[in-house]
Amino acid sequence: MNLIKKLLTAIFLFVWATTSVGAVNAAFLKFDKASYSVGVNETFGVEIIVDPGSEQITSVDSYVTYDSSIINADSVTGGSYFPTVLNDLTTGKVYIAGLVDSPSDFKTGVGTVATITFKGLAEGETDLVFDCDGEATVTSKVIKKDINSTDIIQCSQNGTAPITIGGGGATEGPGGAEAAPTP
């Protein structure tokens, strides 16, 4: 009986150790620019970028939140990363899903999932934020290509982007340098 307990304990520890090592969160979502600044009634595009680290992934769920009194999401255009991109626009939140078309397919490397077109509604500031909570079921996710469809997103690494409406019409690039106005 004691041998059976030891054997079961050893099997449990082996399974736990091998699944824990494989569950390291490595992926994150970000925006294409560090910040955006446009005028009232101007439209601008915001690219949603996925970085899966060294992992193979099959899908992304991204929930982007913002202050709907400052900006409004008008549309979503699929990017080049996933062959299928779905979206849902609601007040103050944009949901975007990117996925492969076959269970045997996967994606690697950094890529653009989609572009959201926003319109400036009123002077002010808001932040674009990925709604991400590792304990929630309806949250941003990056799904690894494995038997368990493991969510490998690292919420703390997700990007945020401040938006200023009425502040001069220039957009700040990734390195903080000012770029040309957004059309």
CA atoms lying within 13 Å on the CB side of residue 169: 8
Q: Where are the beta strands (DSSP E) in 28-140?
A: 28-31, 36-38, 43-51, 57-65, 71-78, 84-90, 93-99, 111-120, 124-130
Handedness of CA 32, 35, 37, 40 (dihedral sign): positive
- Which helix or strand (DSSP H or E) is residue 7 part of? helix 2-22
DSSP 3-state of 110 = coil
CA angle, residues 67, 111, 68, in degrees to nearest 5: 10
Per-residue DSSP letter, 181 = P
Residue 14 and residue 174: Cα distance in Å, rounded? Answer: 43
Which of 133, 155, 129 has the alpha carbon at shortest distance from 25?
155
Q: What is the pLDDT along the chain (183 residues), one digit of tens a residue?
A: 555 554 444 444 344 434 444 445 589 999 999 999 999 999 999 999 999 999 999 999 999 999 999 999 999 999 999 999 999 999 999 999 999 999 899 999 999 999 999 999 999 999 999 999 988 889 999 999 999 999 999 999 999 999 999 955 444 444 444 444 444
In this prediction, residue 26 carries a pLDDT of 84
With a threshold of 0.85, does the pTM exceed it? no
